[in-house]
């Protein structure tokens, strides 16, 4: 079955540590890729997106993601996290039928 | 202040009762969506509507119904046929829906439904 996989369910790290969240998808053909973030008590909001061109995409709050087509991956990175990055992160893929499929989410806890 | 509102924030119902969740947007978006969020499963698409008076089933439509009589409103009814209705329900909207890969979805605050 076609799916979006996020490798880590819960990540705990200290402030200033580097963060990388894995995302793999199994859809063939052209896809559009997204990372959404849900901060505690807030709406789900877009962090960054990839449609075409440079596979390294920069988003808000210092996040970036790299699309590697050969690996069907779209991993999210941040070089130095802050306590305020504590949130749940969702990878999503826009399929050929233009519907969004979401991964299960990764909860990130940053310790001060 | 533009955005998507969902009401109520928390909803409790007895088993066997139908319940309707509200979603309103003032972004002038054509497309609206309903998702269900369960722990460890991410968001799953229930129904979506690309234009007024038209809607399509998503991946998990069984036990749910929707209507789209107005552009700004897309209520979701959780019927008694839904076997596991307790969940967090998210409504979203986008400018024009299918056909545009750059079309971004904006999400509401969600309604947490608990069926007792």
As averages over each run of 10 residues, the pLDDT of chain A (112 residues) reads 85 97 89 93 92 93 95 97 97 83 95 92
pLDDT digits 0-9 by tens, B38-49: 988 889 999 999
What confidence tens digit (pLDDT) does each residue in B87-97 have?
Answer: 999 999 999 86
Which residues 46-105 of A have a C-beta within 8 angstroms of B?
Answer: 46, 49, 51, 90, 92, 94, 97-105
For chain B, positions 13-42, list CB contacts with chain A under 8 A.
35, 40-42
Core vs surface per residue B86-103: b (16+ CB within 10 A) or e: ebebbbbbbeebeeeeeb
Residue B1 has pLDDT above 60, yes or no: no
Are A51 and B102 an interchain contact pair (Cβ–Cβ within 8 Å)? Answer: yes
pLDDT for B39 equals 85
Nearest CA in chain A to B37: A104
B23 has a pLDDT exceeding 60: yes
pLDDT category at B99 given cuts 50, 70, 90 is low
Q: What is the mean pLDDT of chain B?
A: 92
Q: What is the pLDDT of residues B76-87, one digit of tens each?
A: 999 988 889 999
Nearest CA in chain B to A100: B45
* Beta-bridge mates of residue A77: A20, A64
Report the share of chain B in percent with pLDDT over 90: 78
A110: contact with B, CB 8 A cutoff: no
Question: If DSSP states are collapsed to H, E and C, what string results for chain A?
Answer: CCCEEECCCEEEEECCCCEEECEEECCCCCCEEEEEEECCCCCEEEEEEECCCCCEEECHHHCEEEEEHHHCEEEEEECCCCHHHCEEEEEEEECCCCCEEECCCEEEEEEC
């Amino acid at each position: 079955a076609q799916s979006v996989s996020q490798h880590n369910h819960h990540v705990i790290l200290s402030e200033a540590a580097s963060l990388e969240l894995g995302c793999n998808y199994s859809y063939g053909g052209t896809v559009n890729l997204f990372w959404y973030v849900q901060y505690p008590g807030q709406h789900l909001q877009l962090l960054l997106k990839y449609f075409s061109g440079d596979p390294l995409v920069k988003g808000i709050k210092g996040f970036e993601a790299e699309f590697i087509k050969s690996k069907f991956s779209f991993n999210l990175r941040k070089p130095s996290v802050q306590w305020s990055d504590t949130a749940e992160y969702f990878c999503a893929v826009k399929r050929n039928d233009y519907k969004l499929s979401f991964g299960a989410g990764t909860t990130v806890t940053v310790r001060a | 202040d533009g955005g998507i509102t969902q009401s109520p924030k928390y909803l409790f119902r007895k088993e066997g009762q139908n319940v309707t969740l509200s979603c309103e947007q003032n972004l002038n978006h054509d497309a609206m969506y309903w998702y269900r969020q369960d722990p460890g499963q991410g968001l799953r698409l229930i129904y979506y509507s690309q234009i007024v008076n038209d809607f399509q089933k998503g991946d998990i439509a069984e036990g749910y119904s929707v209507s789209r009589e107005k552009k700004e409103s897309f209520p979701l009814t959780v019927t008694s046929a839904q076997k596991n209705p307790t969940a967090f329900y998210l409504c979203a909207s986008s400018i024009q829906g299918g056909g545009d890969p750059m079309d971004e979805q904006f999400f509401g605050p969600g309604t947490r439904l608990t069926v007792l």
